[in-house]
């Protein structure tokens, strides 16, 4: 009997049927291998950090080669000894801080979410620390002002003191925010500062405390004279200032000593409110000058409540920024006399912005000048009557600056 012939077509179908399971297996192995290569870290291979980058699109006008940044990022995340401790978010914030610090302006700063919360708390008048405002002057970290009643003030820290070390760490390379972070801390803990004053170097150890600041204090000095001390221009200052104004207006005070000593500044809008209680509505309070040199006058916006009140202003080297705006405007607009010492001299305006992740960015956007066009930056306001406050005065609890102001009001 002859063998039946199998058609070629049927032979090919049979071969394909036999090979199909093998082909499918090979494809599955290949796909699995690709997935492992992209997503898994094998114990015998090089360990790398897996990071998903979102929002990578750069502004269209920026032309910069970002490859060095990514090269460093990849080397750090691939080669660093203790890669498990690397926090991509901290690396990002560190990179942003470095970029902002490269601007070279101590007042243009980036705050991570925790630092931004602490800044907001300081404006509200409540935080934990030693109670000093800091700045950088002539490449040195200096005390702008100690807060009355704070651990720093009680220990004798003064405006103008240079801080050389914080817990043994040299401060020459620190930004203001880095120094703040080292000095602030939980109430009850301590921090050691090495200070320099008038050529003398000394150490002081401060115990941190909960700092609650009432930004406006009212004192009846007798004979129709009220002392209104503003310690800062914060979130509650406008309300507290209004309460003090009501006391002056309703209790028959016709003379006011406006005490701006050791006031490091704060909110520009609140400073204009204070100015507005002494001058006619629409009076120039401050001039803003932008990067092109264009000047804009910011005027008071309300009817004054203290017209006709005789006024003297106290300043010292701890009076900065918004307090200088108030003193400068009232001297320009009303010829108000300033008593004390030359003020700190901060003549720039920062725009604070809260970012979506809780961090913050403060950018210097303009100069500010007094209504007459004087820029106080790094020179300060010179008092009409210079009166020093000496160590002997402090020890004797004497206040010759206040005494001079009262004398001028007689």
Active-site residue, selected from the candidate residues 118, 350, 359, 401: 350
Q: Is 350 a catalytic residue?
A: yes
Q: Give bridge partners of residue 352 from the DSSP assignment.
A: 362
The half-sphere exposure of 158 on its side-chain side, counting CA atoms within 13 A, is 13
Q: Distance between terminal CA atoms of the chain?
A: 143
Active-site residue, selected from the candidate residues 321, 323, 343, 359: 321
Active-site residue, selected from the candidate residues 255, 317, 346, 404: 346
Write out the chain in H/E/C secondary structure.
CCCCCCCHHHHHHHHHHHHHHHHHHHHHHHHHHHHHHHHCCCCCCCCCCCCCCCCCCCCCCCCCCCHHHHHHHHHHHHHCCCHHHCCHHHHHHHHHHHHHHCCCCCCCEEECHHHHHHHHHHHHCEEEECCEEEEEECCEEEEEEECCCCHHHHCCCCCCCEEEEECCEECCCCCHHHHHHHHCCCCCCEEEEEEEECCEEEEEEEECEEEECCCEEEEEEECCEEEEEECCECCCHHHHHHHHHHHHHHCCCCEEEEECCCCCCECHHHHHHHHHCCCCCCCEEEEEECCCCCEEEEECCCCCCCCCCEEEEEECCCCCCHHHHHHHHHHHHHCCEEEECCCCCCCEEEEEEECCCCCEEEEEEEEEECCCCCCCCCCCCCCCEECCCCHHHHHCCCCHHHHHHHHHHC
Q: Is 321 a catalytic residue?
A: yes
Gap between the Cα atoms of 22 and 368, Å rounded:
78
Owner of token pair 């620390």: 129
Compute CA 315 distance to the chain's CA centroid, rounded to the nearest angstrom.
Answer: 23
The half-sphere exposure of 163 on its side-chain side, counting CA atoms within 13 A, is 34
The set of catalytic residues is 321, 346, 350
């Amino acid at each position: 009997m002859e063998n039946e012939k199998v058609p070629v077509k049927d032979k090919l179908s049979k071969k394909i049927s036999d090979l199909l399971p093998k082909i499918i297996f090979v494809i599955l192995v290949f796909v699995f291998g690709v997935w492992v290569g992209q997503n898994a870290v094998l114990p015998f291979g090089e360990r790398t950090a897996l990071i998903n980058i979102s929002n990578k699109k750069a502004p269209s006008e920026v032309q910069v080669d970002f490859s060095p940044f990514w090269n460093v990022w990849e080397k750090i995340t691939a080669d660093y000894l203790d890669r498990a401790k690397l926090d991509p978010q901290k690396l990002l914030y560190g990179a942003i801080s470095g970029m902002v610090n490269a601007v070279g302006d101590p007042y243009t700063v980036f705050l991570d979410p925790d630092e931004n919360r602490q800044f907001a708390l300081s404006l509200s008048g409540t935080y934990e620390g030693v109670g000093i405002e800091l700045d950088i002057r002539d490449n040195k970290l200096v005390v702008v002002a100690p807060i009355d009643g704070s651990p720093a003030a009680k220990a004798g820290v003064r405006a103008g003191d240079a801080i050389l070390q914080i817990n043994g760490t040299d401060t020459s390379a620190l930004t203001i925010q880095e120094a703040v972070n080292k000095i602030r801390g939980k109430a009850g803990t301590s921090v050691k500062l090495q200070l320099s004053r008038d050529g003398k170097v000394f150490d002081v150890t401060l115990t941190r405390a909960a700092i609650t600041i009432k930004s406006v204090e009212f004192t009846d000095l007798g004979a129709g004279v009220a002392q209104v001390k503003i310690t800062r221009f914060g979130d509650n200052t406008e309300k507290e200032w209004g309460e003090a104004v009501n006391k002056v207006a309703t209790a028959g005070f016709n003379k006011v000593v406006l005490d701006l000593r050791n006031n490091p500044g704060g909110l520009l809008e609140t400073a204009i409110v204070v100015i507005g209680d002494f001058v006619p509505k629409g009076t120039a309070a401050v001039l803003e000058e932008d990067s092109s040199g264009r000047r804009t006058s910011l005027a008071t916006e309300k009817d004054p409540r203290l017209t006709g009140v005789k006024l003297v202003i106290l300043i010292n080297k701890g009076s900065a920024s918004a307090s200088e705006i108030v003193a400068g405007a009232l001297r320009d607009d009303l010829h108000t006399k300033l008593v004390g010492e030359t003020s700190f001299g901060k003549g720039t305006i920062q725009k604070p912005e809260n970012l979506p992740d809780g961090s913050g960015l403060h950018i210097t956007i303009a100069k500010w000048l007094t209504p007459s066009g004087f820029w106080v930056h790094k020179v300060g306001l010179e008092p009409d009557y210079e009166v020093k406050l000496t160590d002997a005065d402090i020890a004797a609890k004497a206040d010759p600056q206040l005494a001079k102001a009262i004398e001028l009001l007689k």
